[in-house]
Amino acid sequence: MAKKNFKDNNPANAFLSEGTKTSKQSFDDLTEAEKERLLEEHLKNREKKTERVNLLIQPSIHKKLKDYAKANDTSMNEAINIAIKDLLNK
């Protein structure tokens, strides 16, 4: 199984880029209420990967996808998700 890739969707980013903090303020400096609010906001806005799709593809495409995922240290599922996002965002 490939390693998780958090380049584009790192859960820690919810705590690093919030407007409530100054550039010098760290997560540890926040009050418990602020930490809880940030966590709740992150969990509410996080999209879960729970929808399933059965996909039939040509064996040659499957091999290329598998090779791509291995070369980029990601899963085939993540590679497909990225490709679909790129297609829909054009």
**Higher pLDDT, residue 60 or 85:** 60
CATH T-level assignment (fold) for domain 52-90:
Arc Repressor Mutant (1.10.1220)
State the pLDDT confidence band at 39, using cuts at 50, 70 and 90: confident
State the pLDDT confidence band at 14, using cuts at 50, 70 and 90: low
Sketch the domain layout of the chain as residue ranges: 9-46, 52-90
pTM over 0.85: no
Q: What is the 3 state secondary structure string of 22-82?
A: CCCCCHHHCCHHHHHHHHHHHHHHCCCCCCCCCCCCCHHHHHHHHHHHHHCCCCHHHHHHH
